[in-house]
Amino acid sequence: MQSKTDYDAVVVGSGPNGLAAAIMLQQNGLQVLLLEGKAEIGGGLRTAELTLPGYQHDICSAIHPLAVNSPYLQTLPLQQFGLDYIFPDVPAAHPFDDGTAAILKSSLADTAQLLGTDAQAYQQLIQPLVNSWPGIAPNVLGPLSWPKHPLDMARFGLKGLQPATVLARLFKTTQARGLWAGMAAHAIQPLTNYATAAAALVLLTQAHLKGWPLPRGGSQAIANSMAAYFRSLGGQIETNTYISNMSQLPLARAVLFDVTPRQLLQIAGHRFSPLYQYQLKRYRYGMGVFKVDWALDGPIPFTASSCMQAGTVHLGGTLEEIAAGEQQAANGQHAERPFVLLAQQSLFDNSRAPQGKHTAWAYCHVPQGSTKDMTQAIENQVERFAPGFKDLILARSTMNTLQMEAYNPNYIGGDINGGVLSLSQLFTRPALRWSPYRTSAKGLYICSSSTPPGGGVHGMCGYYAAKRVLKDMFGREVNSLHRR
């Protein structure tokens, strides 16, 4: 590694936020070095043959509604660098024990119609958010600031800050309530917690804007296209360079860390004020995940045939059952029937498996740091709604929470959100400061999902951190992302 000050900025970590930060800085004329500890870039954006030869599995993230709708990522010419999104007409499905399923279609009107007596309630809840999203997205997916469209933002906040179980009272049918619960469970918290409604509102809105796409060839394609674009701008990337202390870094005017508070303290804690160290040490991580990937002899035989048209399937039954399971995991217990998030990419992307064969990807929420094997519980949930599924399994790969963390150090205790997205940490992650991206040490910044807006492949944490660096260290103001 070069020892002199050859770089304006160094970014540590090449997850979607590290990549976004590096691109943003390079776009604005800086010379940027991006460092990645693994042999491959991507963080949560990686794809590999985890089971059998020819079966391509997304190791972490799989379906990307926030990526395609990201106020920043959608401005990048990633299609020119190999990124090709596939859009299932049915973004998500939610089956029930009676053989029916609630269907989230890309058309809001079609989705509402399928919800029967809850059609009007669904339309009235989601349509205003679809209409206002372009104007409020930079605020929803950003740090706490005065919004450009305050009334639209207030309408979102009044709904999104509620517990998911409270807003669920708008719906009367089992189908609509179950669909809502599955969306809210992406918050990885008890559904009775404040602000869990926001997860459901955002995901449903994205489905009706552009959909829930999957990248052709795997999630690695997003990282590869971002890296290719970054290099085309003159940026440099070094892999197999794991940073554990500041002495390993070349001199630069600014360093941005795509890591969580725990690693940040290990690397640069001695540079921080006592108050900032104290705040980082108090940062809270959330529930973990247990993940399974399967190589299958055929498509999953869901009883509800509409599920076989969906890129994502939520398995958990009724709202009450999902809420109970999520509460158990938060309480340190393991649900016998956990809520399972399942993706079936090979139904839409034939590059994922040999001809006639298929892959499937799934995980459930478990207590932080759990090493319990949840394979049987997850497979039982799939079999519950798709009898004969187990007979199709050719091979499987599993990862418990500690294996997830070993694979990606940002997944502390299996927490894939970079810290619990509770109301108290929604806008103050990782610490209560004027800017959440600026540490107490001059020139050192944090750009990971431990900053607003939190987890998900959207690059907005990296974008806003880079924007702060440009203003603080280089005196440059960047134009707003707001559109109308």
DSSP string, 415-484: -TTSS---GGGTTT-S--SSSTTB-SSTTEEE-STTSTT-SSS--HHHHHHHHHHHHHHH----------
Same domain, residue pair 52 and 186: no
CATH number of the CATH domain containing 455: 3.50.50.60
Q: Which of 367, 405, 418, 406 is nearest to 261 (CA)?
A: 418
Q: Residues 6 or more apart from 68 whose CB is under 8 A from it?
A: 74, 85, 206, 210, 211, 213
Whether 52 is in a domain gets the answer: yes
> What is the mean pLDDT of the segment spanning 380-397?
98
Q: What is the token pair recorded at 6? A: 């050859």
Instruction: Cite the beta strand spans of 232-375 per DSSP E.
Output: 236-238, 252-257, 288-296, 310-315, 340-343, 358-366
User: Which helix (H) or strand (E) segment is 382 a member of?
Assistant: helix 375-385
Residue 3 scores a pLDDT above 70:
no
Structural domain containing residue 298: 87-212+286-407
7-12 and 252-257 beta bridge pairing: parallel
Same domain, residue pair 92 and 117: yes
How far is 317 from 418, CA to CA, in rounded Å? 28
Same domain, residue pair 339 and 261: no
Residue 448 scores a pLDDT above 80:
yes
Same domain, residue pair 191 and 54: no
Same domain, residue pair 298 and 394: yes
Same domain, residue pair 63 and 110: no
Residue that terminates a domain, selected from 382, 407, 432: 407
How far is 454 from 460, CA to CA, in rounded Å? 9
Q: What is the pLDDT of residue 483?
A: 55
Q: What is the pLDDT of residue 422?
A: 86
Residue 265 scores a pLDDT above 60:
yes
Whether 295 is in a domain gets the answer: yes
Instruction: Cite the beta strand spans of 138-258 per DSSP E.
Output: 214-215, 236-238, 252-257
Name all contacts of 390-395 with Cβ < 8 Å and 24+ positions apart: 391/297, 392/296, 392/297, 392/298, 392/300, 392/301, 392/358, 393/294, 393/295, 393/296, 393/297, 394/51, 394/52, 394/294, 394/295, 394/296, 394/297, 394/357, 395/51, 395/52, 395/55, 395/294, 395/295
Cβ atoms of 444 and 436 closer than 8 Å: no
> What is the mean pLDDT of the segment spanning 332-359?
98
Across the chain, mean pLDDT equals 96
Cβ atoms of 219 and 46 closer than 8 Å: yes
pLDDT band at 2 (very low <50, low <70, confident <90, very high): very low
Name beta bridge partners: 94: 102
pLDDT band at 246 (very low <50, low <70, confident <90, very high): very high
Domain total of the chain: 2
User: CA 447, 449, 451 angle in degrees (round to 5)?
Assistant: 65
Residue 370 scores a pLDDT above 50:
yes
Output the pTM of the full model: 0.96
Q: pLDDT of 34-83, one tens digit each? A: 999 999 999 999 999 999 999 999 999 999 999 999 999 999 999 999 99
| Residue at 339: amino acid letter | F
Same domain, residue pair 187 and 298: yes
> What is the mean pLDDT of the segment spanning 16-33?
98
Q: What is the pLDDT of residue 21?
A: 98
Q: pLDDT of 102-118, one tens digit each? A: 999 999 999 999 999 99
> What is the mean pLDDT of the segment spanning 451-455?
95
Classify residue 251 by its DSSP letter: P
Looking at the chain, the whole-number percentage of residues with pLDDT higher than 70 is 98
> What is the mean pLDDT of the segment spanning 453-480?
94
Residue 482 scores a pLDDT above 60:
no
Cβ atoms of 147 and 136 closer than 8 Å: yes
Residue 147 scores a pLDDT above 90:
no
How far is 308 from 468, CA to CA, in rounded Å? 45
Phi first, then psi, for residue 469 (nearest 5°) are -60, -45
